[in-house]
Structure formats: C-alpha cells, structure tokens
Amino acid sequence: MQILRNGFMAAGMLISVSTMAQQRDHDYVRPLPTLVEWTDNQHFILSQTNEKYRTTYLKVDAATGKETIDSTYRPRPKPVQKKLVVRDNDIFLQHGNNRKQLTHDSIPEATPVFSPDSSRIAFTRQHDLYTLELSTGKETRLTFDGTATLMNGMSSWVYMEEILGRQYEGQAFWWSPDSKSIAYFQTDDSKVPEYTITDAGTGYHGYVEKQRYPQPGDANPSVKIGIISATGGNTTWADFNPAVDQYFGTPVWSPDNKSLLVQWVNRDQNHYQLQAVNPSNGSKVLLYDETQPTWISLDEEDRITFVNGGKQFIFVSDKSGHRHLYLHNADGTLKNQLTSGNFEVNDIQYIDEQKKVIYLSCNKDGLNRQDLYRVDFNGKNFQRLTFGPYNHEVKFSPDAKYFTTKYSNTATPDRLALVTTTGKIVKELADSKGPAFNEEVAARRRTVYVKSEDGKFELPINYSLPRNFTPGKKYPLILVIYGGPGSSNVYDRFVNPKFTSGEEIIHASIDHRGCGEFGKAGQNYMYRNLGYQALQDYIHGLKWLIANVPVDTEKVCISGYSFGGYMTCYALTYGADYFKYGIAGGSVVDWRMYDSHYTERYMDTPADNPEGYEKSSVLTYTHKLKGRLLLMHGVKDDNVHINNTLSLVDKLERDNNQHFELMVYPGNRHGVISEKLSHYNEVMNLFQKKYLLNLTDDKK
C-alpha cells in the first residue's frame, strides 16, 4: 500500500465514489487559459479556447504582464523521444513510427532501461541481468546464477510494492551517471512463504498462481547489493551482512560515480542509516544515522537531492514530527537545517544553485493547501511567495525569475496569476468564475476544521450539498475515505459544481490526525493499533456533520477501497453505532494477512504486538455489525488477497448469521480497472439507491 508524495494511493488502488452527474445548463466556471510554453526567459504563451472551441494564442511579457494576440504562433512539436518497449517477449527501440527490434529470442525480457549516455540498455532475462550495446547489438550477460528464487536486477513482490515502487515493474538495477557501471539487487526469495492465488481461468480447469508473499513475522527476502561493469566482469558486493534481517531502499549514485549511497533500515523499521559504498571494493562509510520511537518510512520519495556538483545534498526527514529539509555535506555532516516548524514540506519545486536558493511547497499557511516558499542554502530568508487563503499550483520560468500560479480554494474558482520570485504579483491573468456562479453555488461545497475530541488537532472536513438542496430536509450522507497513514482525502481547492452529484445525497470526506497534512506527529497515533484512532476521529467528524449539516443519521454510508476498505469494515463493526451502511473494496480485514514490510512498519510483528493485531482486526468485532455492508474484491488480487474478504464472509456466516452483500471480480487484481469498471460502479450505485434513497430497480 505504497503512498505517493501527493497523498494519493499508488497505482492499482481505486477509491470508490458515487456517480457524478453533469449539469450542462449553468455556466458556473469557464476554462482558464493554458500556459503552453516559455519562449524565452521573458515571454510565455497562453492558449485560450472559447465556447466554439476556437483557440487564441496570447504572448505575455513577464516584466509587464502585457498580453498581445500572436496570430502567427503555432505550438512547437515536442521532440520525439526514443523509448524502449517490450512486445511479444522481445525489446524494441521505438522512435516515432520507427521500431527496431533489439532482442530476438523466445525468452521474455523485462524492464529495459537506457544508460545515461544512451549508448546501451540494461534489462533482465530469466532472473539475470544483461546489457546491450545499441550501435552493434552486442549483448553482454552480467550475471549467471539467476533462478526462480535468486533474482539479479529484479525485485521481490514486497520490494516492488512497498519500497521501490510498483511503477518500476520490478526493476532493481541502477545505472551509474557515467554509464560505465550498474548497481543491482540480488534477491533471495527462497525462504519467503508462497501464497496461492486461484481464479476462474479461461478454460474449465481453473487458474493457479504462486506468489512469494511475506506476511507479518514471516521470513523476508534476503537482499545483497552488487556493483558490476556494464561490459561484464566480477561483481563487487557492498559490505552488508545478508544474514541480517534488514531492508534496503532505492540506492542513489553520487554525481561523480565514486560512491553509491545505500539506504538501510532494520526489520523493526525504526533505525535508518545512509551508507556511502565504494564501488571498487564494497566498503562503506556511514553518512547519516536516525532512530525514531515508532517507524521511519523507507519509501520516502526524493529523500536525497544533490547540489553543488555533488559536494552537498539536501536530505528529507520527518524526525522532528514533520517533513523538513536538511543540507548535508557530501561526507554526511549537517551543514544547515533548511526548514523547521509545525508544517509539512511537500516537495522541492526548483533549485537555483547560482543564487543558492531553494523553492519549495508546503502547508505552513493552510493545513490542506500548498504555498510556494523560498529559503537560502544557509537556512535563512524563509519567505512565502504566494498569497491569500488559496491552494497554489506553480510553474517556473526557465531562469526562475517568474512563476505562474493557478490558485483557488473550496469556495473560489481557479484563477491564474503571474508572480516574480520575490513575491510581487505582476498581473492577474485570468479568472475562471462564470456569470452563473454565486454565493449559493459556492456554499454547496465547504471545507471546515473541527477540533478533535482531545483538542490536539483541527480535523479537516469537506462536504458537498446536493444541487437541489432544500433547507430543513434531512439527507443521506456518503463519507468517502482512504485513511492509511500519510494519505489525504481533504483538499482546500476548487471543484467545479457542474460535476457534483445530482442525487439527493450529501458527500463528505474527513481527514484524521494520521493523514499526511499533520505529518509524523499525527501519524504516530496510529502506531501498533492502525484503525482505532483514525476511526475515533472519523466518528468525531461525523458527529460534527450530524450537528451542523442536515444529515439523516439512519442513512450514513462510509465507502473506501484497500486501506479504505479496511476502515469501512472496521467502521461497520467496531463503529456500528455510527455507521449504518458501508461499501468496502479490496479490504484488509486482519493485518496478519497483509505483507510484512507495510504492516510491521506500523504494527510490529504479531509476536511483539498480539494485542494490537487483535484489537485492529475487523474479525474481532463482526458480532457488532448492525447495518448493511457491501464487500467487493478482485479474485486475482495479488496485493490484498481475497482471502481477507472470504475470511470476513466466513466469520459472518458461521458465527453471527449476519447479513452482507458480496461482489467478486474474476480476472481483476487490486482495483477494478478493467472493462468491468462500469459493472463495479453500477453495483455501488444500486446499493446507494436501494439503502440511501429507497429506490427500487423499477424506480431508478
């Protein structure tokens, strides 16, 4: 359940939402102009499309904001990039409409990657690592001992999902900047227990798939880090003991190729080290050491950014309770702490090395908004560059003297402004507010902040009223959530009311204290009992909604997928007094069934924390279920196995004779994103109409 930096789930997970009806007869907002490109450091082009789909190009002078129609401008075609594709088990070089076959055999190849100088590619074949010289077509086999359980340059499932990132499709090798060497993981999966996935298959004998899947407390894959020449030879092994229970994050080459920075954490995931490995002999030097009383996330994106030609690097850590930036020298010594305070740095937007300025986005001035800030390399002159109570999305000029910002909040439609990087607004370029937009429309969707029950946090809540809202009438409520540590559902930014639900339902989202905007300080409350504190905050937010918004308390529905499915099932059982209906997809129902790395990060092992596992399990509270629960799951789910949902079904049938509804999707993995998506949405819609709107099939 890897979480991306923006707070959304990693690819493959789907958050359930109700159907959105589009109202076409009101001109609430109009499209903003689009920034096409900066033609030089002082000028950029905006494209404006009218209601007749005719496009006008405007040339803007950044110094003055003056706009002139450029009737001769035509967007420059983007350079056609060469890319590598795998088709019919072979690798092809694609360049525009031209395709050149690079490998010619029946054995499948995977994860082809260009060298930085584009002279070679590296790829894996039958668990071994290869390179291919593009000018000659010469292949070089780099490793020779790969098997089904000893994989060179390929990651195990748990590393792909939780540490390296599913988007890399199992790639576990990394080119050096000079294209001469490759670092790679050698992964021994032999001690990891096998999980059997079954499905309907295409014939009459069914489908069976074996997966190496470590659950909490199980043996993990053992990983060694090797460095080898791109032209072959002996591997230099980094000086780590493979017998130690440990994890390695994505390694990072230094710009001068002289060291490989390796990220290490222990099995308990509360001790992090950054080691500089010598590629010639494998020796290592400790650059950074950190411990926390709860956990340290190894899948932190962009943790290390080199500056000053590799003489320094910017390091990201949440050791203070919040995600901040630290400038270190190449030897690991701390030069300056760049940011500090009770806010979260989201990402680095731009680095001006000449002026020694870092531009970053953070939520210092709005819990669920992003602003642009600048700070000097010495940690001084921390300054806000954006303005107002808005969420800002910025784009820089080539020389970073200017930026454009698209900004809004829940009640304010998108606007576009040109600003200098000293914070001076050069010009307001556009406003998307249409003639039909008014205060009544703006009030349909609100973001509010509710003091938590213990008074320690301001919990954000988004809610949207039906288009045809009638004062004094009570409405069903759908609460859409995810809820995993570090995720977010609530954002203070504008959503076009054209696309709000036409049904007579209130839609809402609540962020608990463990969501991303509160940082590690909030997430620590989830340690060793994942669902409890999150649900308490959801219940508290729901109470506020019931007290302040016309909610029908007998028709409260919670809906989510993956971790959101877990929270939905937990809410319908442990929180049965508050949640009457639930739609749960791809749900974990007991954390002993999920993977080791993700689960142990927050829960420790079942042997170390038996009480926490029992208390956080949906299966512990099935006897409390009072309402109506719809369970949905992909049969081939290799992330959250369907055994979770089936175990809940079994418990409800055997022990409690409870009512529930079930829909399974043969052929689907984690997230119903196939041609069955329309069926999936229809099942949810029918559930909502039946139980929340009292509409039968003949009335839909």
H or E, element range at 547: helix 532-548
Strand order in the sheet with 98-101: 82-87, 90-95, 98-101
d(CA 236, CA 243): 18
Amino acid at 172: A
pLDDT at 18: 39
Distance between the two ends of the chain, CA-based, in angstroms?
Answer: 36
What's 29's DSSP letter? B
Strand residue runs (E) in 432-473: 445-451, 458-464
H or E, element range at 533: helix 532-548
In a domain, 239, yes or no: yes
pLDDT at 500: 58
pLDDT at 13: 35
Q: Are 396 and 380 in contact (CB under 8 A)?
A: no
Backbone angles phi, psi at 240, to 5 degrees: -120, 145
Q: Are 384 and 339 in contact (CB under 8 A)?
A: no
Q: Domain boundary residue among 252, 278, 299?
A: 299
DSSP characters over 105-168 = SSS-EEEEEE-TTSSEEEEEETTEEEEEETTT--EEE------SSEEESB--HHHIIIII-GGG
Of 543, 546, 568, 544, nearest to 557 (Cα)?
568
Q: Mention every residue, 6+ apart, whose C-beta is less than 8 A from residue 463.
A: 445, 446, 448, 506, 507, 508, 509, 545, 549
> How many structural domains is the chain composed of?
2
Q: Averaged in consecutive runs of 10 residues, what is the pLDDT profile of the chain (700 residues)? A: 52 37 60 93 93 88 95 87 94 94 94 98 98 97 97 97 94 98 98 96 88 98 98 97 95 97 98 98 98 94 93 98 98 98 97 97 98 98 98 96 97 96 97 89 92 97 91 94 95 80 86 98 97 97 97 96 97 96 97 98 98 98 95 96 97 85 94 86 94 74
The Cβ of residue 416 has, within 10 Å, a number of other Cβ atoms equal to 20
Q: Are 616 and 530 in contact (CB under 8 A)?
A: yes
pLDDT at 242: 87
d(CA 14, CA 124): 30
d(CA 305, CA 471): 53
In a domain, 249, yes or no: yes
Burial tier of 68 (Cβ tally within 10 Å: 0-12, 13-18, 19+): exposed
d(CA 382, CA 591): 42
In a domain, 400, yes or no: no
Following CA atoms 320, 325, 330, 334 in sequence, which dihedral angle do they give, to the nearest 10 degrees?
A: -40
Domain of 584, CATH number, reads: 3.40.50.1820
In a domain, 577, yes or no: yes
Amino acid at 401: K
In a domain, 313, yes or no: no
Max Cα distance, the chain (Å): 78
d(CA 223, CA 597): 14
Domain of 154, CATH number, reads: 2.140.10.30
Range of the domain at 227: 115-299
Q: Domain boundary residue among 255, 284, 299?
A: 299
In a domain, 364, yes or no: no
Q: Domain boundary residue among 284, 299, 314?
A: 299
d(CA 577, CA 624): 9
Buried b (16+ CB within 10 A) or exposed e, 135-161: eeeeebebbeebeeebbbbbbbbbbbb
Q: Give the SS3 label for residue 516.
A: helix
Q: Mention every residue, 6+ apart, whose C-beta is less than 8 A from residue 121.
A: 84, 91, 102, 112, 113, 114, 115, 131, 132, 134
Global confidence as pTM: 0.93
What sections of 271-404 are H helices per DSSP? Answer: none
In a domain, 344, yes or no: no
The Cβ of residue 676 has, within 10 Å, a number of other Cβ atoms equal to 16
pLDDT at 201: 80
In a domain, 626, yes or no: yes
d(CA 589, CA 567): 9
